[in-house]
Amino acid sequence: MENVVVKNQLQQKENNQVKKNLLKLVGIGPLLILLCAIMSLLNPAFLTFSNWINLLNSISAIWIMAMAMTLVLISGGFDLSVGASLAFSGLVLVKLVYVGVPELLAIAITLLVVLIIGMMTNGFFIGKLGLNFFVVTLGTMSLFRGTVYVWTDGQTQYADTLPIVSFLGNGSIGTIPVSIIIMFVIFLITHLFLKYTQFGRGIYVVGGNSTAAKLSGIKVPLILIGVYGMSALYASIAGIIETGKLASVSPTIGSGLELLVAAAVLLGGTSFKGGEGTVIGTTLGVLFIGVLQNGLSLSGISSYWQEVITGGILIFAILLNYFKAKQT
Amino acid sequence: MTIALTKTDTPFALEIKNISKFFPGVVALNQISMNIEWGTIHGIAGENGSGKSTLLRIISGMEKPDQGEVLYNSLSAKESHKLLQKDVAMVTQEPSLVNSLSVAENISIGRRSQNESRWLVNWKKHMQIASDYLEKLGVTDIDLKCKVEHLSPDKQQLILIARALASNPKILLLDEATSSLSEDQTLTLFSVLEELKADGLCIIFISHRLKEYTRLCDYVTILRDSNYIRDLNHEDMTEDFIVTSMVGRELKDYYPEKEATQTEEEAIAFRDFSCRQVKNVSFSVKKGEIFVLAGLDGCGRSELLKGLFGVIPTKGFLEVYGENMKFRNPREAMDKGFSYIPGERKSEGIIAEMSIMENAMLSYRSQKPFWKWIERKFEKEKFLEMKESMQIKAPSIHTLIKTLSGGNQQKVVLARALALKPKFLLLEEPTRGIDVGAKAEIYKLLRELTKQGVTVMISTSELPEAIGIADRIGVMFRGSLQKILHEDEMSEEKVMHYATGN
């Protein structure tokens, strides 16, 4: 009797395993390859080197922010304020240079200031006081964006006389744009950080079960403050690159970007419930969105339709995740 | 001894046929079959983790069996699904009240479908139903408009029972429904149940007090380690026989021998210590002792440990080896050599999506500066050593903890605490929901630790466990320490006597 039960159970497990493996195949990686294949069939220009440089260059800001957003989601939270932080840091940079601060120093100050603001606002309220992340970041989003409007009086600030900033945004080393190099370095650092440091693993623990984390002696507030600080810092890096690219800071820059960033992270298999996700997955998610938009542009589809299609595909991807989760 | 199944002309209320249920890594129920008649009270007895709650959830339709089926009125599960949903009411072990709603609303939730209006709420009727059923259960001193979260555990439990009764069930499932009731309240409930039985209801009953089976039940089905053992009818029922059937072996080899490992040195001393439910408790625990806190749910024993570990704020004085201390958070307590094993393994203990090694190394890591690299090689060696010595059964150190059985999960959580070489080990419900073998191993391990001078404090709801492992038992009642029992005066009766306020 016992044997039959055990055998059945094993059989069932095997079946589940097969199903699970099948679902793994329909994850974001294969979908991305499929999408690339379709795009290259629709438009031969898609697979060219220069188009890919273009593509990567266009997604560098999203990619950098998505790295940090991955950490935030793994910790079980969400940061709506990254788009506004991006605009805010661009503005701080430009204003600092206007009052005569040397460019390099201005960049350093900007990064530091935004990092501290991120830790003191989002980090403190969510990590230390335990307020709801959605409400807090919704508030800071409005706060930062509003500050930008007030400070600029709604006028675009020009930044066309900043050689270093413009090098970061538009320059290139050999044939590779600097922004892509920065993006890649950040990706590598974040990946190693998340996988091999106490802090990085701590983020998974806090997101996976914050009660257990606290009872095991992990400093949960500290980790959350760090995570939201990094989120602001990365947004700030993206903001400086964007400023260089556009040679200006418009007060509306980056609005709505937080949702695109979140879409990329979710596509990459990080879930809202926290505790799981990788920056590699996120990278694939960002690439997916980049390829989709690039391919659709090349094919002459209007940006309005692009948005519709992006939305549809996002829901599709989340559905896939749902079925995957149901299997286990 | 087994019930003769001859009356085929009168169908049973429930026929349970070869039910099996698997959870990741464990067989929760192994081919269980039993029949339950109308107009009887049928007990299901077994140790924690023997599968009785799972069986009840399957009978109620809350969970689907992996194999076998439950026939209701000779109808298969598919046909009877809707009917069963209407006819079954269950009082679950976990509180399932809506805390933010009033007493009256909580009771009439089950009744809503039978209310005359589909869209509108008839408040007057709600109140009427609620007060009727509460009165039946002997509760008269309760404000029906009060939010249930403000009520004591025994009142909450009675409200749960009232809700089940209010839905006019034909089958009533009671899973530890008496766990926080006083003697009087239990007696009133029993007389209500007897009435319902006379009306032809089928009642299935689970309790952790064995004498309730002998007093109330017509039949008792015994489960052990997920297997069906035997049915007893009322005449054959004695507490001793139920126990031996449940445990299947002598209790002696289950618990390690009590050696005098404690010293006279005072390790932890509470003076007028208060937190949440705990009121002005004063006592001390000796070095190398296993001190067990016993008492009914809600008596404050788990809060006392939480307060000691800095999880919840406290008042009063705490002395650790003669030094005054106050912990504002778990971190501070850990720095002084305390480790804590939470009672709710799933929600407070494990990080489900992580490997067993990472789970075990959490606390160790948290002692390191957070910018440091992880010491992969060292951790691996350390964990392999613990895995070996604690007999954690898992295919590899990278196995996700959620796929392990409860016993092995608990060992990993224990390993997490022990990795820090604690001087004080605080445990809540250390063996909840784990199998017999693992239990014995954990008890042995705890005794070993005391030999090394570790002071152990345990809060448990299981009396045999308390008596089996403790050097001294502190019995709590409504937040105060009622009595400290020494080894020579320990018995289940005595503990219950003090736990109910005498």
Residue B49 pLDDT > 80, yes or no?
A: no
In a domain, B390, yes or no: yes
| Tens of pLDDT, residues A177-213 | 999 999 999 999 999 999 889 899 999 999 999 989 9
Q: From chain A, which residues contact B within 8 Å (Cβ)?
A: 1-2, 5, 8-9, 12, 196-199, 201-202, 204-205, 208-209, 211-219, 222-223, 226, 275-276
Nearest by CB to A5, from B31, B342, B350: name it.
Answer: B31
pLDDT at A18 over 70: no
* B289 neighbors B456 (Cβ within 8 angstroms): yes
Contact B348 A218 (CB under 8 A): no
Q: Looking at the domain assignment, is residue B198 inside a domain? A: yes
Nearest to B316 by CA among B465, B480, B469: B480
Q: Is there a contact between A196 and B66 if contact means CB atoms under 8 Å apart?
A: no
- B380/B451 same-domain check: no
* Averaged pLDDT for residues B191-204: 92
Nearest CB among B331, B350, B374 relative to A197 is that of B374
- The per-residue pLDDT for range A60-76, each reduced to its tens digit, is 999 999 999 999 999 99
Please indicate if any CB of chain A lies within 8 Å of the CB of B340. yes
**Does residue B407 lie in a domain region?**
yes
* 3-class DSSP state of B370: coil
Contacts of A212 in chain B (CB under 8 A): 342, 347-351, 362
Chain A touched by B347 (CB under 8 Å): yes
Q: Which domains does chain A have, with CATH numbers?
A: 49-327 (1.10.3470)
Which alpha helices (DSSP H) does chain A contain, by range?
2-25, 28-42, 49-74, 82-98, 103-118, 133-152, 163-170, 178-196, 198-208, 210-215, 220-246, 257-267, 279-298, 303-327
The torsion angles phi and psi of B172, rounded to 5 degrees, stand at -120, 125
| B65 and B21 together in one domain | yes
Question: Sorting pLDDT into bands at 50, 70 and 90, what band is A279?
Answer: very high
Contact B370 A201 (CB under 8 A): no
Last residue of a domain, one of B195, B213, B248: B248
Q: In this structure, are B328 and B443 located in the same domain?
A: yes
Same-domain status, B414 and B430? no
CB B366 to CB A222 under 8 A? Answer: no
Asked if B342 reaches chain A (Cβ–Cβ under 8 Å), the answer is yes
The set of residues, in sequence order, having a beta carbon less than 8 Å from that of B373 and lying 6+ positions away, is A196, A197, A198
Orientation angle between helical segments B356-366 and B376-389, nearest 10 degrees = 120
Last residue of one domain, picked from the residues B421, B450, B484? B421
What secondary structure letter does DSSP report for B137? Answer: T
pLDDT in tens, A206-264: 999 998 999 888 899 999 999 999 999 999 999 999 999 999 999 999 988 888 899 89
Q: Which residue do the tokens 């290139």 mark?
A: A172
CA torsion B482→B486→B492→B493, rounded to 10°? -60
Q: Which residue has the higher pLDDT, A18 or A164?
A: A164
Which of A3, A199, A215 to probe the B interface (max B CBs under 10 A)? Answer: A215
Q: Domain ends where: B394, B421, B448?
A: B421
pLDDT over threshold 70, residue B356: yes
Question: Confidence band (pLDDT; 50, 70, 90) for B5?
Answer: very low
For B163, residues 6+ apart whose C-beta sits below 8 A from its C-beta are: B89, B97, B106, B107, B108, B109, B110
In terms of domains, do B199 and B309 share one?
no
B368 CB neighbours in chain A (<8 A) are: 198
Asked whether residue B9 is domain-assigned, the answer is no
Residue B6 has pLDDT above 50, yes or no: no
Q: Could you read off the pLDDT of B303-351 as tens digits, one per residue? A: 999 999 999 999 999 999 989 988 999 999 999 999 999 988 888 889 9
Q: Sign of the CA dihedral A112, A117, A118, A120? A: positive
Q: Which residues from A are below 8 Å from B370, CB to CB?
A: 197-199, 202, 219, 222-223, 226
Average pLDDT in the A265-290 region? 89
Radius of gyration, CA atoms only, chain B: 24
State residue B249's pLDDT score.
Answer: 61
Residue in the block written with tokens 């679950």: B92
The string of DSSP codes covering B293-309 is EE-STTSSHHHHHHHHT
Q: Is B380 on the interface with A (CB under 8 A)?
A: no
CA distance A231 to B414: 35
CA dihedral (A217, A218, A220, A221) positive or negative? positive
CATH number of the domain encompassing residue B450: 3.40.50.300
Task: Enumerate residues 277 to 336 of chain B having a beta carbon within 8 A of any beta carbon in chain A.
Answer: 309, 311, 329-331, 334
- Residues B140 and B47 grouped into a single domain: yes
> Considering CB atoms only, which of B340, B362, B373 is closest to A218?
B362
Question: What does the mean pLDDT of chain A come to?
Answer: 88
Distance of alpha carbon A91 from alpha carbon A262, whole angstroms: 23
Closest CA to B174 of B37, B44, B19, B28: B44
- Domain match, B28 and B44 both: yes
A199–B370 CB contact, under 8 Å: yes
Regarding beta strands A172-173 and B323-325, do their DSSP bridges make them parallel or antiparallel, or are they unpaired? unpaired
Task: With respect to residue B300, please indicate whether it lies within any of the assigned structural domains.
Answer: yes
More confident site: B405 or B103: B103
Does a structural domain hold residue B5? no
Per-residue model confidence (pLDDT) at position A112: 97
The domain of B408 spans 346-421
Q: Is pTM beyond 0.90 here?
A: no
- Distance, in angstroms, between A216 CA and closest chain B CA? 5
Please check whether residue B162 lies inside any domain of the structure. yes
In a domain, B1, yes or no: no
| pLDDT computed for residue B52 by the predictor | 85
**Contacting B residues, span 418-437, partner chain A, CB-CB under 8 Å:** none
Please tell me whether residues B211 and B310 are part of one structural domain. Answer: no
Give the distance from residue A234's alpha carbon to the nearest chain B alpha carbon, in angstroms.
Answer: 18
Q: pLDDT grade, residue A22 (50/70/90)?
A: low
Contact B458, B290 (CB under 8 A): yes
Q: How many CB pairs under 8 A join A and B?
A: 102
* Cβ A310 vs Cβ A318: under 8 Å: no
H or E element in which residue B458 lies: strand B455-459
Q: Which two tokens stand for residue A265?
A: 């992270």
Q: Are residues B22 and B114 in the same domain?
A: yes
Residue B9: the pLDDT is 47
- Range A97-102 average pLDDT: 92
> Which has the higher per-residue pLDDT, B83 or A25?
B83
The answer for residues whose C-beta is within 8 angstroms of residue A230's C-beta and 6 or more apart is: A68, A71, A115, A118
pLDDT tens digit string along B120-158? 777 888 888 888 899 999 888 888 888 888 887 788 889
Q: What is the mean pLDDT of residues B381-400?
A: 88
Q: Are residues B269 and B407 in the same domain?
A: no
Q: Kindly report, residue by residue over A127-166, the tens digit of the pLDDT.
A: 999 999 999 999 999 999 999 999 999 899 998 888 899 9
At A53 the pLDDT is 92
Question: What are the pLDDT digits (tens) for B215-242?
Answer: 899 999 998 878 898 888 888 888 888 8
B381 and B448 in a common domain: no
Give the per-residue pLDDT at B298: 78
Q: Is B94 exposed, middle or buried (0-12, 13-18, 19+ CB in 10 A)?
A: exposed
State the nearest Cα–Cα gap between B426 and chain A, in angstroms: 11
Same domain, B144 and B228: yes
Q: Taking chain A, what is the end-to-end CA distance rounded to the nearest angstrom?
A: 27
What are the pLDDT digits (tens) for B252-310? Answer: 567 888 777 778 888 999 999 998 888 899 999 999 999 999 988 778 899 999 999 99
Q: What is the pLDDT of residue B190?
A: 94
Q: How confident is the model at residue B114 (pLDDT cuts 50, 70, 90)?
A: low
Among chain B residues, CA nearest to A3? B30
Mean pLDDT rounded to a whole number for chain B:
85
Distance of alpha carbon B498 from alpha carbon A2, whole angstroms: 44
For chain B, the domain total comes to 3
Q: Cα–Cα distance between B89 and B408 in angstroms, integer?
A: 34
Percent of chain B whose predicted confidence (pLDDT) is above 70: 93
Taking the Cβ of residue B374 and every Cβ of chain A, the question of whether any pair is shorter than 8 Å is answered with yes
Q: Give the span between the Cα atoms of B209 and B239, in whole angstroms.
A: 10
* pLDDT-derived band at B93, boundaries 50, 70, 90: confident
- CB–CB contact A196 B374 (8 Å): yes
- Could you tell me the two tokens for B390? 């604690």
b/e A190-217 (16+ beta carbons within 10 angstroms → b): bbebbeebbbbbbbbbbbbbbebbbbbb
Most confident of the following: A248-262, B3-17, B430-444: A248-262
From first CA to last CA, the distance across chain B in angstroms is 38
Inter-chain touch B362–A208, beta carbons under 8 Å? no
Residues of B in contact with A201 (CB under 8 A): 358, 365, 374
The whole-number pLDDT of residue B3 equals 40
Q: Per the structure block, which two tokens stand in for B488?
A: 């020579």
